[in-house]
Structure 1
Amino acid sequence: MLVLGRSQVESLLSTDALIDALASAMADLSAGRASMPDRVAARVADRDGFLAAMPGFLPSARVLMTKLVSLFPHNDGTPLPTHQALIVVFDPDTGEPAALLDGTAITAARTGAGSALSARLLARPDARVLAVLGTGVQARSHARAICRVRPIRQIRVAGRDPAKAAALAEELSTVLEADVLAVSGYAEALDGADIAAATTHAVEPVIRRPWLTPGVHITSVGFNPAGREIDDATIAGALVCVESRQAVLSPDFGGSNDLLAPIRDGLITAGHVHAELGELVNGSKPGRTAPDQITLYKSVGVAVQDAAAAALVLAAARERSVGEDITLD
């Protein structure tokens, strides 16, 4: 069995290749070609955390895998990430365990790449100003990935801690060609932004309709069991796209409060979800229809994305003879 640690996974995973691979994976999911049951989780109530299992089979990539991922939001602000994960890949012909991969790096990369795919499908082609809300791992991933699909010239970083926002802006300015600056708050970051990437564990919405410019594309990946990132007015007025209707609207576990709460309150119905990313990729649903239309991609993360990323990592590892081989007794 091949074992790959975090630094190895990061060095083997190409963002451009991942965005393309996710397009194929999402099309497979929407067409019913992939197998992806609902995730299950054990909750740790006193820490507002959970440990989830996310199995999936992506036939087009010949990947059978499961991810074990913990989400502990109180890790925010500590040396530990809020999301930590392992991925086990199995031989799809025999069921034999074939590889053990660091899933924390894959989760960060595929989530940002998924948002970049949504921007490629929904953001205006001339989008140049990106607002990044949050200062953690996903903020970094999103800034890097979205710059691969749109001609971003300015990035505004906002978070709860101004010092962290300033540090992230300085870090990103060394690796991206855009002008990166820290701003004082979410409203300032969103004012005039063409794309907004919400990557927080917010209790109260960080995306509010009065702060938005017509035509903005929003990506929202944050999760907080007691909160939400997006206000009702934005949800109601946006063209809403998701990875999977079943996943995002799940009332039991893993669904999005950003959509479930306004459905519960009667502000929208489940039919307000316009499309899955895979339906945009395969052309069965239209995307943006007007320059001033507000579009929204709400992500909860799905296993086929991890499978697509794992396939790329394993192919690159085998090509470069990277990783440690171990034998299971």
Structure 2
Amino acid sequence: MSEGLTVMDAEAVRARLTIAACIPLMREAMTALSSGRVEQHLRSFLSVGEGRTFALMPAASADGFGAKLVSVYQDTDHPGRRRHQGLVVLFDPESGAPAFIGDAEEITRIRTAAASAAATDALARPDASILAVIGTGAQAQAHLEAIALVRPLTEIRIWGRDAEGARRFAEAMRKKYDCPVRACATVEAAVQAADIICTVTASRDPILHRDWVTPGAHVNLVGSSGPHAAEADIDLVAASRFIGDHREHVLAHGGEFLRARQAGRVTDDHIAAEIGEVFAGRRNGRISPADITLYKSLGHAVQDLAAAAWLLSLERTARHG
């Protein structure tokens, strides 16, 4: 018998799905994707106006099948930022009935940071403790929370295009963490000698350069999710041990990698592994303490469906006592 359709708005998702709970879900989802246990197509994009995109991300896994339907628009309240608004829809694998609809923006915010944390845990040096976050939006705050769950942070640095906004953001974060949090005037100052770097911007051209990144650092490239945008320069891609979240998607939509390949600096073999292969122990992540490990996050429907299935299970458990 069908249990009906569960619908969760952003507030409901936020009240239930924590980043801590989501980290193991992302580890399992990406392992399944790299192990061939997930059917997932490349996301498709439809332009709906200048700087506006509608995307469809379908997948089928052990959790069920479904898709994320999402619009990517400029945030009118925060120039230079983008909003990912939409729905995650999960269908029951047994009955074929729609079982869950959830707010895509909130699920995306949480699962993206959780996926970066899982990758950081696997790729960053065990003693990594200085975090630089490039960006000041919702993903910046989520990544601060997520990375703090996998490494004991001794210093947090923030950079944003709006210096006053970055200062206010750092001040707010200072109240949440038991370590110094400071805003930096430049990206270079923020990442100098940093152990972990997270770029969570809407930049279309590189803001992170190889010369600024210390050997042994781990970098999460998160903000760019299409072939025409890149947050890191070609030199950093070429110098890194490059780990993709999914090889097929990196080769189609990984802007940083595609620019380096077009320049003749790397070939497809430069993708050392998928993160799911690292999680499963089938490929090496970091090989040397001096490696610059780079995790390219594009985001996947299997991640959204894993979070949706967890939320649905939680709701059904509560319903049945």
Q: Same fold (TM over 0.5)?
A: yes
> Whole-Å Cα distance in 2 between the matches of residues 154 and 85 of structure 1?
35
> Does residue 154 of structure 2 align to residue 153 of structure 1?
yes
Q: Unpaired segments of 5 or more residues in structure 1?
A: 323-329
Q: How do 1:105-254 residues align onto structure 2 when only pairs under 5 Å count?
A: 105-223=106-224, 226-250=228-252
CA contact (8 A) 1:12 1:317 kept: no
> Whole-Å Cα distance in 2 between the matches of residues 135 and 273 of structure 1?
29
Q: Unpaired segments of 5 or more residues in structure 2?
A: none
Aligned to 2:315: 317
| Cα 1:192/1:53, change in 2 over 3 Å | same
Aligned to 1:275: 273
| Cα 1:174/1:144, change in 2 over 3 Å | same
Provide the alpha-carbon RMSD of the alignment: 1.8
| Cα 1:131/1:100, change in 2 over 3 Å | same
| Cα 1:80/1:120, change in 2 over 3 Å | closer
Pick from 29, 36, 54 the counterpart of residue 57 of structure 2. 54
Listed one character per residue, the Cα deviations across residues 150-189 of structure 1 (whole Å, up to 9, x for unaligned) are 1112110001001111121122222233321111110010
Deviation at 1:300, TM superposition (A): 0.9
Q: Secondary structure at the match of 1:54?
A: strand
CA contact (8 A) 1:75 1:82 kept: no
Deviation at 1:73, TM superposition (A): 3.8
Aligned to 2:258: 260
| Cα 1:215/1:238, change in 2 over 3 Å | same
Listed one character per residue, the Cα deviations across residues 244-285 of structure 1 (whole Å, up to 9, x for unaligned) are 1101111xxxx0210111112211111101110110011110
* Matched residue type, 1:267: R
| Cα 1:37/1:159, change in 2 over 3 Å | same
* Matched residue type, 2:283: K
CA contact (8 A) 2:173 2:181 kept: yes
> Whole-Å Cα distance in 1 between the matches of residues 174 and 312 of structure 2?
31
Deviation at 1:79, TM superposition (A): 11
> Whole-Å Cα distance in 2 between the matches of residues 80 and 200 of structure 1?
7
Aligned to 2:294: 296
CA contact (8 A) 2:82 2:202 kept: no
Aligned to 1:93: 94
CA contact (8 A) 2:100 2:308 kept: no
> Whole-Å Cα distance in 2 between the matches of residues 269 and 44 of structure 1?
33
| Cα 1:237/1:79, change in 2 over 3 Å | closer
Deviation at 1:106, TM superposition (A): 0.5
Name which of structure 1's ranges 8-17 and 23-32 shifts more when overlaid on structure 2. Answer: 8-17
TM-score of the aligned structures, taking structure 1 as reference length: 0.91
Q: Secondary structure at the match of 1:196?
A: strand
> Whole-Å Cα distance in 1 between the matches of residues 39 and 266 of structure 2?
29
Deviation at 1:5, TM superposition (A): 0.9
